[in-house]
Amino acid sequence: MGTANDSSKDISVRLAEKKPKVVFVLGGPGSGKGTQCEKIVQDFGYTHLSAGDLLRAEKNSGSENGIMIQNMMNEGKIVPSEVTIKLLQKAMLESGNDKFLIDGFPRNEENRAAFEAVTKIEPEFVLYFNCSEKEMERRILNRNQGREDDNIETIRKRFKVFLESSLPVIEYYKGKGKVREIDAAKPVEEVFEEVKGIFNPPEVRKVVGGRGWGRGCCAIL
């Protein structure tokens, strides 16, 4: 008979078999992660998984964790990894794709270490949207998505958590040479120009009419 442990191991094994390609998309609240991910999906064929969106859907589904998730979000706190990782793994398996933008995760050391231990997936790179707090605050207060956590009191708490818990994760990946940092304070299209340069590396774009390139090459040139 399968126990909870067996089933979580099972999902990790099935996911590992897909050998998924993962890009972590990080940045402060309101830095434009979701906005840019939607554009990357259109041009580069990734599936966008927002940890925040998955947690909100889980909360709204009336699951046993719903109240806990709501309380954590309203305080700007990070939900225990166990919950978020299960949601991410399920969404990855169900997507049918093998390329993922994981937006808003890992948000602290516990998220990072647990994801690595459970999934054994190492990100290809980390896209980091760097933006001033002043600009992020302005954007969130204008976001109008009806999010309960988009109020000034919770925003301040989220900024604190970002500085204290999420920036160290970005530093960790900087140490591994994996961070691609973007100036996210610019207008959406200008930010996306920079983003495209990362997904279409310049060395590849230079190869015009290169021999031996497969179908993918035509989209790049």
Ligand X SMILES: Nc1ncnc2c1ncn2[C@@H]1O[C@H](COP(=O)(O)OP(=O)(O)O)[C@@H](O)[C@H]1O
Ligand Y SMILES: Nc1ccn([C@@H]2O[C@H](COP(=O)(O)OP(=O)(O)O)[C@@H](O)[C@H]2O)c(=O)n1
- Contact residues toward ligand Y (CB under 6 A) are 29-30, 33-34, 50-52, 55, 72-73, 76-79, 84, 104-105, 107, 111, 149, 158
> Is position 147 an interface residue for ligand X (rule: CB under 6 A)?
no
Q: Is the peptide bond before 168 cis (omega within 30 degrees of 0)?
A: no
Looking at beta carbons only, is 147 or 174 nearer to ligand X? 147
Q: Are 18 and 121 in contact (CB under 8 A)?
A: no
CA-to-CA distance for 136 and 27, rounded, in angstroms?
10
**Residues near 47 by beta carbon (within 8 Å), at least 6 away in sequence:** 41, 92, 95, 97, 99, 100, 101
Residues paired with residue 181 on neighbouring β-strands, in sequence order: 128
Q: Are 49 and 20 in contact (CB under 8 A)?
A: no
Which positions from 27 to 66 touch ligand X by CB under 6 A, shown as an x/- string?
x-xxxxxxx-------------------------------
Looking at beta carbons only, is 187 or 202 nearer to ligand X? 187
Near ligand X by CB under 6 A: residue from 9, 14, 21, 143: 143
Residues near ligand X (CB under 6 A): 27, 29-35, 139, 142-143, 187-188, 191
